[in-house]
Chains A and B, each alone.
Chain A
Amino acid sequence: MNWKLMLTSSVRMMLRYKLRTLFMSIGVCLGVATLIAGQALGTGSQQQLAQRVDQMFGPGTILIFSSTLNAADLEEISSQLDQVIAWAPRFTAGMSDVSYQGVDTRATVFGHAQQADFVWNRGVMAGRFFNSDDISQAARVALIGTRLAEKLFTGASALDQQILIGSIPFRIVGVLEPVGIDPHGEDRDEDVFVPITTAMRRISNSQYIGSAKLVVSNHELVDQDADQVAGILRQRHRIAAGERDDFAIYTSKFAGQAAVSAKQVVNTYVFAASIVVLLVAAAVISSIMLVVVRERVSEIGLRKAIGATKQQISLQFLLETAAVTLISGLIGVGLGLLVASVVSDYLAVPMVVGLPSIMLGLIAALTVGVVSGLLPAKRAAGLEPIEVLR
Chain B
Amino acid sequence: MIQLHNVSKSFVRPNEGRLEVLKAVDLTVDNGEFVAITGPSGSGKSTLMNILGLLDRADSGEYKLLGRPVSKLSATELAKTRNRTIGFVFQQFHLLPRVTATENVELPLLYSNSRNTTKKAIDALCRVGLEERLNHYPNELSGGQQQRVAIARALVNSPDVILADEPTGNLDQESGRQVMELFSELNRAGSTILFITHDQQLARQATRWIQIDAGLLHTHAPAGRN
Contacts and interface: CB of A to CB of B under 8 A. Distances in A.
Contact of A298 (B83, B94, B108, B114): B94
B108 A307 contact: yes
Nearest to B82: A307
Interface string B60-103: 00000000000000011001101110001010101010110001
A306 interface: yes
A307 B80 contact: yes
Interface string B36-72: 0000000000000010010110000000000000000
Interface string A27-53: 000000000000000000000000000
Contacts of B109: 2, 5
B108 A310 contact: no
Contacts of B110: 1-2, 5-6, 9, 308
Interface stretch (A10-18, A111-119, A232-240): A10-18
A389 B79 contact: no
Interface in A366-390: 384-386, 389
Contacts of A305: 53, 55, 82, 88
Contacts of B107: 302-303, 306
Given A386-B55, A386-B56, A389-B90, A307 B111 contact: yes
B28 interface: no
Nearest to B153: A306
B139 interface: no
Interface residues of A, number: 27
Contacts of A12: 99, 103
Interface string A292-309: 000000110111111111
A307 B117 contact: no
Nearest to B79: A309
Nearest to B163: A305
Interface in B141-163: 153, 157
A307 B83 CA distance: 4
A5 B117 contact: yes
Contacts of A310: 75-76, 79
Interface string A256-282: 000000000000000000000000000
A346 to B, nearest CB: 43
Q: Which of A9, A12, A310, A385 has the most CB of B within 10 A?
A: A385
A302 B165 CA distance: 14
Contact of A306 (B50, B98, B103, B111): B111
A282 B81 CA distance: 36
Contacts of A389: 55, 90, 94
Given A5-B109, A305-B82, A309-B80, 7 more contacts: A2-B110, A2-B112, A9-B103, A16-B99, A305-B53, A308-B111, A312-B111
Interface of B: 50, 53, 55-56, 75-76, 79-80, 82-84, 88, 90, 92, 94, 96, 98-99, 103, 106-114, 117, 153, 157
28 contacts: A1-B110, A1-B111, A2-B109, A2-B111, A2-B114, A2-B117, A5-B106, A12-B99, A17-B98, A302-B94, A303-B107, A303-B111, A306-B88, A306-B107, A306-B111, A307-B79, A307-B84, A307-B108, A307-B112, A309-B79, A309-B111, A310-B75, A310-B76, A310-B79, A312-B111, A384-B55, A385-B55, A389-B90
Which 10 residue pairs are nearest across A and B when measured between Cβ atoms?
A307-B83, A16-B98, A307-B111, A309-B79, A306-B108, A302-B94, A309-B76, A386-B55, A307-B82, A5-B110
